[in-house]
Amino acid sequence: MTRLLGWLAALGLAAGAIMGFAIAPREATQGNVQRIMYLHVPTAWVAYLAFGVVLLASIAYLARRAPAADRLAHASAEVGVVFTGLTIAAGAIWGKPTWGTWWTWDARLTSVAILFVMYLGYLLLRGMIDDGERAARYCAVLGIVAALDVPLVHFSVYWWRTLHQPPSVLKPGAATMPPAILAALLVNVVAFTLLYAYFVAKRVRLLRDETEVLA
């Protein structure tokens, strides 16, 4: 199953690259720089998904003390941090030609930076505590608290004045983009979601093997 996920992710990424760079039309206002959206938006979605999984797995661990739930939370947090970093980097590259700056401390960017730092802290906390059960318990609490920032990130463009545009897809009503661009974006979202699932499955297996070796 993990190998199948890997192949599906690779095929999806190839299809997404073709659709985003060869089939989707050039955006009228921003030009070709808009094509970085096909990386920026899917990585942001995967970060949301990853930290949502951390939230649910952390609740499950606290409720049942199931090691499998802790491993899932741990793996998803690691992958979520990677994809959040990619989101920030891609956003900075996109922001320079469109906003004239790599970074600005508006509500969306600041809340994403806080999210990134909190989950980095989550991973650091795991490495600082030698007792595995205690580390899992503390990190479960932190994983739940940190996930509360995800709605803040998403709705920040509605609650405060920001340079960042409002969502074009994850919002009430129809998507506000041409069908060809939307199709390319959705293919990339599916591809990056499969890549997330592949990374998490591989990392969960490694964490399980590490536990068995230590036992």
SS3 readout for the chain: CHHHHHHHHHHHHHHHHHHHHHHCCCECCCEHHHHHHHHHHHHHHHHHHHHHHHHHHHHHHHHHCCHHHHHHHHHHHHHHHHHHHHHHHHHHHHHHHHHCCCCCCCHHHHHHHHHHHHHHHHHHHHHHCCCHHHHHHHHHHHHHHHHCHHHHHHHHHHHCCCCCCCCCCCCCCCCCCCHHHHHHHHHHHHHHHHHHHHHHHHHHHHHHHHHHHHC
Domain limits, the chain: 2-22+35-214
C-alpha span between 167 and 155 (Å, rounded): 9
Q: What is the pLDDT along the chain (215 residues), one digit of tens a residue?
A: 889 999 999 999 999 999 999 998 888 788 889 899 999 999 999 999 999 999 999 999 999 999 999 999 999 999 999 999 999 999 999 989 988 889 888 899 999 999 999 999 999 999 898 888 999 999 999 999 999 999 999 888 888 878 777 776 666 666 667 788 889 999 999 999 999 999 999 999 999 998 888 76
* Separation of CA 157 from chain center: 18
At CB < 8 A and 24+ separation, what contacts does 124-132 make?
126/74, 132/211
So what's the pLDDT on residue 114?
A: 96
So what's the pLDDT on residue 215?
A: 66
Q: To the nearest 10°, report the CA torsion of 99, 101, 106, 109.
A: 100
C-alpha span between 69 and 211 (Å, rounded): 14
CA distance from start to end of the chain? 26
Whether 46 and 199 have beta carbons less than 8 Å apart is answered as no
